[in-house]
């Protein structure tokens, strides 16, 4: 019973993020995934800034972040797909691809 409304809420939230993305794009940083690497090895951001991950490869990628043991997963990103994530909490995030363990990035948020 509970799972369906929850799923719908998640989809709505996803659409909302997708639709409102251009309005805060000034503040967001673009990182591409190409050649099984992130285009940046390290980023410094202010809390609340977002990163737009764009898959510019011909293989699927995944992005997840870890801070203080807390994991946030953006899911699978097929070629040409993009996903944005807001870094709300200050600290050092490790950013990884679940498919390619060598893809690594560090995001420092203050
Ligand atoms: Cu990957």
82 within a domain of the structure (yes/no): yes
Asked if residue 4 belongs to a domain, the reply is no
How far away, in angstroms, is 1 Cα from ligand 1 center? 35
As for how many domains the chain has, the answer is: 1
State residue 25's pLDDT score: 46
Tens-of-pLDDT digits for all 110 residues of the chain?
Answer: 555 555 555 555 555 555 544 444 468 999 999 999 999 999 999 999 999 999 999 999 999 999 999 999 999 999 999 999 999 999 999 999 999 999 999 999 99
Q: How far is the CA of 81 from the centre of ligand 1 (A)?
A: 13
pLDDT at residue 27 in the model: 83
Residue of 81, 76, 85, 96 whose CA lies nearest to 17: 85
Distance between Cα 60 and ligand 1 center (Å):
6
- Beta-bridged to residue 31, according to DSSP, are 53
Q: How far is the CA of 4 from the centre of ligand 1 (A)?
A: 30
- Centroid of ligand 1 to alpha carbon of 55 (angstroms): 9
Q: How many CA atoms lie within 13 A of 109 on its CB side?
A: 23
pLDDT at 78: 97
| pLDDT computed for residue 42 by the predictor | 97
91 within a domain of the structure (yes/no)? yes
| Sole residue written with tokens 């390619």 | 100
Q: What is the pLDDT of residue 22?
A: 47
DSSP H helices, 47-104, are none
CATH number of the CATH domain containing 36: 2.60.40.420
Residue numbers of the domain that contains 100: 25-109
Q: Does residue 16 lie within any of the structural domains?
A: no
Q: Is residue 20 part of a domain?
A: no
User: How far is the centre of ligand 1, averaged over its atoms, from the C-alpha of 5 (Å)?
Assistant: 31
* Residue 14 included in any domain: no
């Amino acid at each position: 019973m509970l799972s369906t409304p929850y799923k719908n809420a998640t989809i709505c939230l996803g659409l909302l993020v997708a639709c409102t993305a251009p309005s805060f794009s000034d503040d967001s940083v673009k990182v591409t995934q190409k050649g099984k690497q992130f285009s940046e090895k390290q980023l410094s951001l202010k809390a609340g800034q977002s990163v737009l991950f764009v898959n510019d490869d011909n293989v699927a990628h995944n992005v997840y972040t870890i801070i203080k043991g807390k994991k946030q997963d953006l899911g699978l990103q097929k070629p040409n797909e993009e996903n944005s994530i807001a870094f709300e909490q200050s600290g050092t995030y490790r950013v990884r691809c679940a498919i390619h363990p060598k893809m690594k990035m560090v995001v420092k948020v203050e």
